[in-house]
Structure 1
């Protein structure tokens, strides 16, 4: 790897597992709807129903592609409308979902890794999701946090990677991006002119022609690589 002056790092499935996080948040949403909009809760009891509504919303409003919060909020609003209940409940319902979504359980080595990285480099969070590093309680490790919803584009679009570099006033090639997704994170960073480390805990084969600068199996291994 060339000289690294900063780190950008993905959040979901890099610092914590996302599936159980979303499952808890969706359970909290259904519980809230059961108390305030029971017909909507019944319609969404099938876990795939809200995703199907999300696809309907996206077909009508493709601009929400990079805004997962906006997309989910509008899917909830559509569910309320179809069930004959007040669409105004979409806001507090989504707030309940989002609050639970911030209650992540970090991987066991995440705090130590973030402490190691942030002591040596400026670190930027770079995510397509709607996690809030401040609400989660890890904001002190980061100089900036870039989300797709604020940036207007999602990984692997080069512009979101360039936004991370711009936040630190550095050229893209000075940043090393770390993430679990081979395409969205590693290849996206490479295409944006950055260096990349693929966090490949499952040991999958690299699926693209151009490899990242390094592949590691854990955040601890990443720290050893950069020590």
Structure 2
């Protein structure tokens, strides 16, 4: 069976941009690994029994993943999942459970120390000068703590809304935050299912940021995106051709 033809990006209807954060504006796993290493060192200093029982970042990540099964009510709140996983680790080791609060605060602060892709600032500045831009994430990154909040009209997350991509409701909430209709939104993200298929189902156009340049798995992901790019710079190149008269002023 042949792959479905990619959709054609209609730049004339774009009135707002929504954009994913983790792995779209920065690589997330180096950040998480560093934050887990900082957390493990903190536990070594303040909760040595827990550090002995969970002696590697892999074990800390494993108990965090276990918490998804133990507390499915927290599945859309990554901060709460991480905090409660730390509390569970402390409890199992016989340390004071209340240490979970300062331990998580340290982890969360380190999680915000992301290293943006080299073309992220230029792309965000370009987009923000031409459109209202809304951050749309299933994660718990804080665009203001990271230092990029000035590019965004709003920042929505699964943690705040209690719903996550690819649920169309989170995309529709982002369109409302930008004060446009969903069909006037262009969504940018790295995840074929969560970002592309979610945005398409919500009636938006979608650009797939495919940095590894994987082939589109059409049998798995269905309808392809309106455009596929290997880096953020290519998004600027796609949109630079739009006449200024058609660009929605930033509100």
1:213 aligns with 2:213: no
TM-score normalised to structure 2 length: 0.88
CA distance in 1, matches of 2:159, 2:86: 18
Give 2:238's aligned residue. 225
Unaligned runs of 5+ in 1: none
1:109 aligns with 2:119: yes
1:131 aligns with 2:151: no
TM-score normalised to structure 1 length: 0.97
Q: Name the Cα RMSD after superposition.
A: 1.0
1:40 aligns with 2:62: no
Please point out which of 148, 167, 180 is paired with 1:157: 167
Give 1:12's aligned residue. 22
Look up the SS of the partner of 1:72 in the other structure: helix
CA distance in 2, matches of 1:205, 1:154: 25
Give 1:66's aligned residue. 76
CA distance in 1, matches of 2:98, 2:35: 20
**Higher normalized contact order (CA 8 Å, seq sep 6+, divided by chain length):** 2
CA distance in 2, matches of 1:184, 1:26: 25
- Aligned structure 1 segments of 4 or more residues deviating by more than 3 angstroms: none
Unaligned runs of 5+ in 2: 1-8, 241-251
CA distance in 1, matches of 2:88, 2:40: 15
Residue by residue, what CA displacement relative to the aligned partner does 1:110-131 show, whole Å, maximum 9, x if unpaired? 0000000000100000111111
Please point out which of 165, 177, 181 is paired with 2:187: 177
Deviation at 1:52, TM superposition (A): 2.8
Give 1:168's aligned residue. 178
CA distance in 2, matches of 1:81, 1:159: 37
How many aligned residue pairs are there?
227
Deviation at 1:50, TM superposition (A): 2.3
Give 1:31's aligned residue. 41
CA distance in 1, matches of 2:179, 2:234: 28
Deviation at 1:154, TM superposition (A): 1.1
Residue by residue, what CA displacement relative to the aligned partner does 1:164-189 show, whole Å, maximum 9, x if unpaired? 01112221111100011111111111
1:189 aligns with 2:202: no
